[in-house]
Amino acid sequence: TQMHVFPDQSWKYETLWSMMNLSNYSDEHNLHYDFKDLNIPFPTEDHHPVQIHSYCNGIVCVITGKSVRILCNPATREFRQLPDSCLLLPSPPEGKFQLETILEGLGFGYDYNAKEYKVVQIIENCEYSDDERRYYHRIALPHTAEVYTTAANSWKEIKIEISSKTYQCYGSEYLNGFCYW
């Protein structure tokens, strides 16, 4: 084995996508599989991994960094970067006491009535201090939520009421027209 050294720390993450096809056409007792590497050049923020949050009908909802949302169809190599959220605040400067928004939940699915894809995100507002960046989940504002629709290509704030403690949900499942978190 060889160790790779990056003395100037100028390396970047590279996102690799592969597609696996399973079939039993060749032999009734064995599964046949093949892999295909996909080249999908969507934008990523430096040093932030790509997080796959959910999928629906072959389309994958992906987050890179804190705020970049992407809908991607790996089979066709097409992607759409969603516009910036109207609710997510930028990260505060180091050592400052400010409000910060935290993504509490994200759902993605197809709305059969409207005949379009939608992304829903629930956001919690919290404060933090400069004491070693420890978070104090003292909610300064109520939870907020917004919906992105593919037809309008924009986010719209929606009213929600959450009366209990929430926990971050890093993915959702879409089944029979419903999004489960």
Strand, coil or helix: what is 57?
A: coil
Q: Does the pLDDT at position 4 exceed 50?
A: no
Q: Of the candidates 101, 100, 98, 97, which has an alpha carbon nearest to the alpha carbon of residue 130?
A: 97
Query: What's the average model confidence in pLDDT over 141-161?
Result: 89
Helix/strand number for the chain, H first, E second: 0, 13
Q: Which pTM was predicted?
A: 0.68
CA 29 to chain CA mean position, Å: 39
Q: Which of 22-26, 74-78, 157-161 has the lowest average pLDDT?
A: 22-26
Read off the pLDDT of each residue in 163-178 and give the average, rounded to a whole number. 64
Write the burial class of residue 122 (CB in 10 Å: 0-12 exposed, 13-18 middle, 19+ buried): buried
| The two structure tokens encoding residue 54 | 């959910």
For 160, other C-beta atoms within 10 Å of its C-beta total: 13
Taking residue 110's Cβ as centre, other Cβ atoms within 10 Å add up to 16
Look at residue 156 in the predicted model and tell me its pLDDT. Answer: 94
Spatial separation of the C-alpha atoms in residues 111 and 117, rounded to whole Å: 6
pLDDT, tens digit, for every residue of 17-71? 665 566 666 566 666 666 666 666 655 555 566 777 888 888 988 887 777 888 9
CA atoms of 37 and 168, how far apart (whole Å) = 32
Q: Are 104 and 122 in contact (CB under 8 A)?
A: yes
What is the pLDDT at residue 3?
40
Predicted confidence at residue 2, as pLDDT, reads 38
Q: How confident is the model over 92-146, as pLDDT tens digits?
A: 556 555 666 777 888 899 998 999 999 998 887 776 555 555 555 555 567 889 9
Query: How far is residue 75's CA from residue 127's CA, in Å, rounded to a whole number?
Result: 41
The residue that leads in pLDDT, 76 or 125, is 76
Alpha-carbon distances, residue 26 vs 19, 20, 22, 171 (angstroms): 19, 16, 11, 35
Q: How far is CA 75 from the centre of its chain?
A: 19
